[in-house]
Structure 1
């Protein structure tokens, strides 16, 4: 790879968010069309995986796959060597909340130690527990772990930069996302819909309808993020390190109610769609998946026999997850976004569920998957953890 370009380390590069982030960094400039000034090193446990190899095929001259893990300090040191930037998005569902905080802090400290990193971007989520005024009903471990560590990074970096002899010129920023809108039409997510017959009282039959059974309440809304937009936002941060310094760039399409989601889906596809509000108990008990995993640790490497600090079950974690969105409708409550800022940074961003669904319908037709409706009926995972499970099941002959 060219030594004249700035190398950026990506941790979490084969995840749902990492793929568009890398595409955004290595594609030509969105404003001028000039070649990217960056190269990328991806630290990955499995360089032979389908996602890793797809990245290498797309960017053979500007991307390096480095076998290793963020849990190994020697691996992270090697990966950071000579890097100009770093984008670190640790998988909290692998580690659990406590270990995610530890590894996030160590990755940041190792970037300081490397001495060459000029912009460090932490893949972040909203610190909903703090934002709610410490309401225990809003406690969501996989959000609070990232949010807590993110605040520490910004505070610590500001202190180091302003202190004489602080020993660093490294800037730091947060990239705060939320539930991907792709999760609303994918399999194995907290908001996966069902395709079911809508009852016709006269005939006993009915037309198929896409139905979301979610504990959102009448006014709750999800600040959904479009993965394609992540490519632009993260590229903007690295292209503008002076402005990015100290910034918490919190992004979303909008605070979307699920009655709006259903209306938009019907408008685009011509198929029936609906949102059914349910309480939390019905949500968790009405799904075989949630019933099966609800009592497991939220963090599949976190043991429950000797619970680590902050131990939460999957059900406890996602109870707080849904309570955050129930309380955040109308861009009020614990999770807010500055949409005027997002319009400035990304004028072409996706702004509505209808716009997103129209783009997905076009993609499905172009890719030979039929219409958006056909793609949703044959929904696939968007999150890497569930794609990996499906691939293992296929390899074992269980699918």
Structure 2
């Protein structure tokens, strides 16, 4: 019998990767949850994957989530701190805005009788830094959701993935150098020698989630890292040149240039403590998984880079 998997955030990079991977695999029925199933992005995916069921659900509305999760076996959930509505609530003083959305998903899943939840979480930098960096809210909120899921272990099985830094971000943090009008500069507020885990989100994520679905006992309650390796920023620039033949370099910019205070704090913390704080308790699974993570060179070869994203 096929498992019915509900995907929260099906139009995003993580959810879209899971949608693509499970659609191509045997044994799964897919229900895609979207705040607006009539959006252009949802319609495009609905046309591409015609057997997927699209259901309206709002992460701020438990009743809509409960209705959307009826008869679901497993729900994949991701919350987005940088969604406009969430940022507005944070700006108004609600630091738990993202946690509330995650809690809503968990509560609705339990009410609907869902067996398992796979949540895209992250470490608490407050914990990793010994309290030095307590205000990186998109990390704290996700980790708080993870802890909430674990507290409900008697009602729902919890699984967790930690994604590395999106390789896709390097497209956003790129520009043509004004010095020679041809060299591509990657501008990030990180020390050049800081190694961070990188992931081709749109391609890698779904395969890890599929592995969890196929190994539920092994992965239960564990944290699974989604990353193809740890790289310095200059290595991404070198990979770009190798893939495209175009000159490229990494240029470190001030932390404050990241914009939001919480982002400047995040980059400072990454430089000092690392993205995952050097933790060594991730579930070892890479050698068993029938998939090879996308490398930075492969990422740029597949990207067809024509300039910074708008």
* Shorter-chain TM-score range: 0.7 to 0.9
TM-score scaled by length of structure 2:
0.88
- Bigger Rg, structure 1 or 2: 1
- C-alpha separation in 1, matches of 2:245 and 2:181: 12
User: What is the CA–CA distance in structure 2 between the aligned matches of 1:339 and 1:130, rounded to whole Å?
Assistant: 17
In the other structure, the counterpart of 1:146 is: 142
1:270 equivalent in alignment to 2:245: yes
TM superposition shift of 1:142: 0.9
Q: Is residue 199–residue 294 contact of structure 2 (8 Å, CA) maintained in 1?
A: no
Query: Which residue number in structure 2 is paired with residue 106 of structure 1?
Result: 104
Is contact 1:324–1:334 with CA below 8 Å preserved after alignment? Answer: no
1:20 is matched with 17
The answer to which structure has the higher strand fraction is: 2
Do structure 1's residue 131 and structure 2's residue 161 form an aligned pair? Answer: no
Instruction: Tell me the equivalent position of 1:209.
Output: 183
Partner in structure 1 of residue 53 of structure 2:
64
Secondary structure of the residue aligned to 2:43 is helix
Indicate if the aligned counterparts of 1:221 and 1:257 stay in contact, CA closer than 8 A.
Answer: yes
> What is the RMSD of the two structures over their aligned residues, measured on CA atoms?
2.3
Give the alignment of 1:281-360 within 5 angstroms.
281=256, 283-284=257-258, 290=259, 315-328=260-273, 334=277, 336=279, 341-346=284-289, 348-350=291-293, 352-360=295-303
Separation (CA, whole Å) in 1 of partners of 2:301 and 2:197 = 19
Query: How far apart in 2 are the matches of 1:46 and 1:128?
Result: 33
The offset of 1:337, in angstroms, is 6.5
1:336 and 1:261 mapped to 2: Cα distance?
23
- Counterparts of 2:22 and 2:197 in 1: how far apart (Å)? 24
| Count of residues in Structure 1 that have an aligned counterpart in Structure 2 | 300
Conservation of the 8 A alpha-carbon contact between 1:174 and 1:248: yes
State the 1:103 CA deviation.
2.3
Distance change (3 Å), C-alpha of 1:353 and 1:328: farther
Once residues 301 and 76 of structure 2 are traced to their aligned partners in structure 1, the CA distance between those partners, rounded to angstroms, is: 30
Instruction: Return 5+ residue gaps in structure 2 as ranges.
Output: none
Q: Contact 1:86/1:121 (CA < 8 Å) preserved in 2?
A: yes
Judging changes above 3 Å, is the alpha-carbon distance between structure 1 residues 76 and 341 closer, same or farther for their aligned structure 2 residues? same
Instruction: Give the corresponding residue for 1:40.
Output: 30
In the alignment, structure 1 segments of 5+ residues that lack a partner are 29-35, 161-167, 199-205, 285-289, 291-314, 361-371, 382-399
Query: Structure 1: how far apart are the matches of 2:33 and 2:286?
Result: 32
Change (3 A) 1:346 1:50: farther
TM-score (norm. length: structure 1) = 0.69
> CA offsets per residue over residues 292-321 of structure 1, 9 Å max, x none?
xxxxxxxxxxxxxxxxxxxxxxx2110122
CA distance in 2, matches of 1:207, 1:319: 28
8 Å Cα contact 1:194-1:212 kept in structure 2: yes
Q: Secondary structure at the match of 1:86?
A: strand
CA distances 1:165-188 after superposition (whole Å, capped 9, x unpaired):
xxx3x3111111132101211x3x
Q: State which of 237, 252, 256 in structure 1 corresponds to 2:212.
A: 237
- Alignment partner of 1:271: what SS? coil
**Counterparts of 1:14 and 1:335, CA distance in 2:** 32
How far off is 1:197 after superposition? 4.3
SS of match in other structure, 1:344: coil
Q: CA deviation at 1:351?
A: 5.8
Rounded Cα–Cα distance in structure 2 between residues aligned with 1:265 and 1:49? 33
User: Structure 2: how far apart are the matches of 1:354 and 1:25?
Assistant: 26
Tell me the equivalent position of 2:66: 77
